[in-house]
Amino acid sequence: MRRLAPALRLDGADAELIDLIKSIVAACKEISFRVGQGELSDVLGSTLNENVQGETQKKLDVISNELLKDLILETGSVMAISSEEEESTVPGNPQGKYLVTFDPLDGSSNTDINSLIGTIFSILPAPQGADPADPSIFLQPGTAQIAAGYVLYGPATLMALTTGKGTKMYTLDKTYGGFLLTTEQVSIPGVTSEFAINMSNQRYWQPAMQNYIADLLKGKEGPRGKNFNMRWIAAMVGDVHRILCRGGIFAYPRDLKDPKKPDKLRLMYEANPMSFLVEQAGGASTTGYERIMKIQPVDIHQRVPVILGSKHEVESCLQYHQPM
């Protein structure tokens, strides 16, 4: 099995990009250790603070954010970072080649029940000569991403990673402390009979998603002519990982539960990196009306609806979103 750096070199990654990814991975290995210690290291539970999203921060949110921020900026190759937990961007080296965005601990509400959580990251090119303190340098469509990935903290610590040459899976070998390439090329089956969605919000969805899910639930007797199973982990990183492993469709559609926040997932920290991984594995990703990675961001904390997974099933869902 190949180690991380040799595998990245074979995909054409240069030395600076490899070093940056290794720094992200180093932070994730430390997060994995902290997560694994759980109650023993007093990292469970919430702080008394809220993040910029208005969400109560878990202790591990804060720890993970600081670890990633410190190790990424120490590389010297990063002009600035943008984190879901930070109100604004954090400047780094004005001559840095890269920008990094990340969700330090996706699904952090799962920490207290010892369920799946993970770190999601994206690497963008830095506009040379730009002001590192200017958040607008991050407002690039997902198609500009140089690399993206997530690290899943489960029974094993796994990383899905793409540099635009397909999606690969790595597993943390705790014997020597590094990630080994365990899946050379992830390929999402085009056809599926599994869907992942938060059904408790059903009454707030738009009609297109209401009708699509209603037809899935009708099973063999309905218009789809087959039975579907529902799976829901309540952490995007876990649901997307399942799709990369065996197919499926994941949706977090627009809803009217909170009219001020009709969309849940963040474009830069969640939707774009996950879309890059899914598309590089042969899947598809959309808002229901446009390809996610073509969206021109207008704000670093912008939220969007997300539908992604097995290509043919995503296309079936899109048919419900077409104007009548």
219 is in an annotated binding site: no
CA distances from 196 to 220, 250, 257, 306, 308 (A): 19, 5, 19, 11, 10
CA distance 58 to 51: 10
Phi, then psi, of 181 in degrees rounded to 5: -70, 120
- Size of the chain in residues: 324
CA distance 107 to 127: 32
As a dihedral over the C-alpha atoms of residue 77, residue 107, residue 236, residue 144, rounded to 10 degrees, the angle is -20
Residue with tokens 């879901």: 84
Q: Which residues have a Cβ under 8 Å from the Cβ of 243 and sit 6 or more positions away?
A: 188, 196, 249, 250, 278, 283, 308, 309, 310
58 is in an annotated binding site: no
Label residue 112 exposed, middle or buried (CB < 10 Å: 0-12, 13-18, 19+). middle
67 is in an annotated binding site: no
107 is in an annotated binding site: yes
**Could you tell me if 250 and 196 are in contact, meaning their C-beta atoms sit under 8 angstroms apart?**
yes
109 is in an annotated binding site: yes
120: β partners: 103, 150
**Could you tell me if 28 and 119 are in contact, meaning their C-beta atoms sit under 8 angstroms apart?**
yes
106 is in an annotated binding site: yes
105 is in an annotated binding site: yes
85 is in an annotated binding site: no
The one-letter amino acid at 193: S
The one-letter amino acid at 270: E
Q: Which residues are annotated as a binding site for substrate?
A: 106-109, 198, 264
Q: Which residues are annotated as a binding site for Mg(2+)?
A: 84, 103, 105-106, 270
Q: Which residues are annotated as a binding site?
A: 84, 103, 105-109, 198, 264, 270
